[in-house]
Amino acid sequence: MVQYNFKKITVVPNGKDFIDIILSRTQRQTPTVVHKGYAISRLRQFYMRKVKYTQQNFHEKLSTISDEFPCLDDIQSILWNLISKIAKDYVKLLKYGDLLCRCKSLKVAALGRMCTVIKRIGPSLAYLEQIRQHMARLPSIDPNTRTMLICGYPNVGKSSFMNKITRADVDVQPYAFTTKSLFVGHTDYKYLRYQVIDTPGILDRPFEDRNIIEMCSITALAHLRAAVLFFLDISGSCGYSISQQAALFHSIKSLFMNKPLIIVCNKTDLQPLDGISEADRKLVMEMKGEAMKTVIGVLLIMSTVTEDGVIAVKNAACERLLNQRVELKMKSKKINDCLNRFCVALPKPRDQKERPACIPQAVLETKAKQAAEKEKRKTEKDLEDENGGAGVYSASLRKNYILSNNEWKEDIMPEILDGHNVYDFIDPDILLRLEELEHEEELSPEEQEALAEIRKKKSLLIQQHRMKKSTAESWPVVPKKFDMDRKFLTERMGRQLSCLGLDPSLAINRARNKSRGRKRERSVDRRVGDDGDAMDIDDNQASKKFRLRSTSRSRSRSRPPSEVVPGEGLKDSAQKVKTIKLAKKSVLKRNKNARRGEADRVIPTLKPKHLFSGKRSIGKTQRQ
């Protein structure tokens, strides 16, 4: 397991923020009210508590920083001694304080000197914060687990190989130094987890001239106990020749000591190993000889494009690393303690007769049958390859249906649907009956002309409506007296209705009555009969009739609240009046509390006195 995690290091505040955090915590966690009438011992304890609490907070914060950062014990001890000495001195002075103002001054002086010490180390705290941010960006590498380290010149295929064998997603580009830091991935081999580290490319130049990116690889090679995979680009497409890569190998071979070393010849799809020149082949063989001098060395070839040899390289590296770790454990002193705990029982043979393992014949036949079925069974991939490949072959989703008859699987129309027999709803003579129905519904020539006229009129109305809708904002309003086409005259409507064989009188009268405006009727008390004699009319009935006549037909009348509307679910007006009263009574309490609804949460007292009144000085309430 990883013994450290730099990402969990607490943020280091700067000097000002450090002081604000400590003083704010002291103010919140200690009492804040003190009076002149208190005894001097109580005043001393009050201010001594603040000084000691501030000192403890400084100590806890600095201890947290020193514990999370490696090798910071010296800095923490110096600061802790200074702050503890200041607190100790001022606590002694506070023990002999005789006045409130003097105790307060000593407290302020103690806290001020502590803050001054923190201000002096402000640049150091800022530096620690930068270190923390840089360490948080480092990958979490476990130095004790099984590790494979990939190194070599830039652009030789290291990141591509790591993407093939792990779930990591390292950026791969056709130019050098795409990988600028260490990348960590994980792979499995024989139920064990292996750690794979991809390093940036290294150039063959003096140690002093190497940059920070190259030093990441050098540091990993020097300090990690891992199996090293040195990559060679034998095609030369990386921009560096085999001789340059061999020179790099010889310059850093001291870092490969006591580590399994595997030389990987990559990009064999562009240039096979047999096709290189004799000089380059000699250089490769020399590198192989150097690799054989290490603990476990080997030369392998592969191509990340065609994936030839990728798994073989991974398995070889894992196997050699595992063997080396086992050998080291066998040579250690702990092996003797482990061997003492094992007891292997080897039974002595009682005679010279051989007793091979006996497997029943039925078991052998079952295994043979299963192996034959497994060989005969074809997967969807095999069927796809046999029937034209991807894009041509379409897998059948019905072949695994469990039906009474296997012939039903590929039927276009099922015989049973939703528990019903589909054949019962099929009429074989449906087309013939449709023709007979169309023949019966044939129209006469006059009816066809009328139907054509109606459809034409309907299409014109639809077009006019669409035009008005599209230009509704800019559509001009034409006064009736300027309507030269006379589209809206009742005579034109009468002519159209007469052409259709309808009586236009009722429609014309209805249009005229609707267009008539309101008129003021004279109030009369008497109506003249046919014989010329005056007849007395009841005043109430006359006035009611005249009011109804004076009301325009086009204006709607207001409905009284007690009138029952169809669909309300009420029996009569009395029941509706009672319902209205109950509804008003139910909301009366809610409205009194100024609530919007039943779920509204009301706080009637907006400013409670115990929260908004300040602290009083010494004195009685009566004098206010």
Flag whether pLDDT at 160 surpasses 80: yes
Same domain? For 165 and 314 the reply is yes
d(CA 168, CA 181): 14
Q: Which residue has the higher pLDDT, 313 or 515?
A: 313
Q: Is the pLDDT of residue 577 over 50?
A: yes
- Residue 188: inside a domain, yes or no? yes
Mean pLDDT value across residues 381-404: 83
In a domain, 27, yes or no: yes
* Inter-residue contact 179 to 266 (CB < 8 Å): no
The residue among 297, 331, 365 that closes a domain is 331
Give the model's pLDDT for residue 454.
92
Q: Which residues of 589-603 are buried (b: 16+ CB within 10 A; e: fewer)?
A: eeeeeeeeeeeeeee
Same domain membership, residue 120 and residue 242: no
Domain end marker among 114, 134, 154: 134
Residue 449 has pLDDT above 50, yes or no: yes
Name which of 101-115, 279-293, 604-618 the model is least confident about.
Answer: 604-618
Query: Do residues 227 and 293 both lie within one domain?
Result: yes
Is residue 303 pLDDT above 80, yes or no? yes
The sign of the CA dihedral 388, 389, 393, 399 is positive
pLDDT band for position 446 (50/70/90)? confident
The residue written with tokens 């015989």 in the block is 415
The answer to whether position 271 is within a domain reads yes
Evaluate whether residue 269 is within a structural domain: yes
Mean pLDDT over all residues of the chain? Answer: 79
CA–CA separation, 432 and 438 (whole Å): 10
- How far is it, in rounded angstroms, from Cα 119 to Cα 22? 13
Mean pLDDT of 46-64: 88
| Residue pLDDT, tens place only, 227-259 | 889 998 888 888 888 888 888 888 888 888 888
| Domain of 170, in residue numbers | 140-331
pLDDT at 554 over 70: no
Contact 186, 167 (CB under 8 A): yes
Verify that 233 and 308 share a domain, yes or no: yes
pLDDT at 514: 60
Mean pLDDT for 150-176 is 85
Number of domains in the chain: 2
Average pLDDT over residues 291-300: 70
Asked if residue 28 belongs to a domain, the reply is yes
Distance between CA 137 and CA 154 in Å, rounded? 22
Q: Does the structure show a pLDDT above 50 at 1? A: no
* pLDDT at position 403: 79
Mean pLDDT of 588-606: 75
Instruction: Please state, in angstroms and rounded to a whole number, the distance separating the CA atoms of residues 119 and 82.
Output: 13
Q: What confidence score (pLDDT) does residue 608 get? A: 63
Task: Please report, as a single letter, which amino acid is at residue 132.
Answer: R
Q: At 10, which CATH number?
A: 1.20.120.1190
Q: Please name the residues in contact with 131: beta carbons below 8 A apart, sequence gap of 6 or more.
A: 69
Span of 263-277, 300-314, 553-567 with lowest mean pLDDT: 553-567
Looking at the predicted structure, is the pLDDT value of residue 26 above 60?
Answer: yes
Whether residues 115 and 162 share a domain: the answer is no
Is position 342 within any domain?
no
Burial of 176 (0-12, 13-18, 19+ CB in 10 A): middle
Residue 71: per-residue pLDDT: 57
> Do 121 and 239 reside in the same domain of the chain?
no
Instruction: Please give the structure tokens belonging to residue 189.
Output: 């081999």
Higher pLDDT, 555 or 576: 576
Say yes or no: 62 and 159 in one domain.
Answer: no
Q: Which residues pair with 227 in a beta bridge?
A: 148
CATH of the domain at 260: 3.40.50.300
- How far out from the chain centre does Cα 368 lie? 51
The whole-number average pLDDT for the span 522-535 is 43
The CA–CA distances, whole Å, from 134 to 3, 129, 211, 218, 456 equal: 18, 9, 17, 19, 81
Residue 255 tokens read as: 């870092």
> Do 12 and 125 fall within a single domain?
yes
What pLDDT, on the 0 to 100 scale, is given for residue 610?
62
- Residue 414 reports pLDDT greater than 80: no
Q: Are both 101 and 145 inside the same structural domain? A: no
Residues 123 and 167 in one domain: no
Q: Which of 8-17, 190-199, 482-491 has the highest mean pLDDT?
A: 190-199
User: What is d(CA 231, CA 233) in angstroms, rounded to the nearest whole number?
Assistant: 7
Residue 271, pLDDT above cutoff 60: yes
- Top pLDDT among 602 and 245 is at 245
Report the distance separating Cα 197 and Cα 253, nearest Å: 18
CA neighbours closer than 13 Å in the CB half-sphere of residue 269: 9
* Residue ending a domain, choose from 331, 361, 387: 331
- Residue 316 in any domain: the answer is yes
Query: In this structure, are 156 and 108 located in the same domain?
Result: no
Asked if pLDDT for residue 162 goes beyond 50, the answer is yes
Q: How far is 439 from 252, CA to CA, in rounded Å?
A: 99
462 has a pLDDT exceeding 50 = yes
Instruction: Determine the pLDDT at residue 333.
Output: 77
Q: Residues 435-462: what's their mean pLDDT?
A: 87
Residue percentage of the chain with pLDDT more than 90? 3
Residue 611: is its pLDDT beyond 50? yes
Band (pLDDT 50/70/90 cuts) for residue 532 is: very low
Judge whether 70 lies within some domain: yes
Structure tokens at 428: 């074989």
Same domain for 130 and 146? no
If 0-12 CB within 10 Å is exposed, 13-18 middle and 19+ buried, where does residue 53 land? middle
Closest CA to 302 of 138, 165, 483: 165
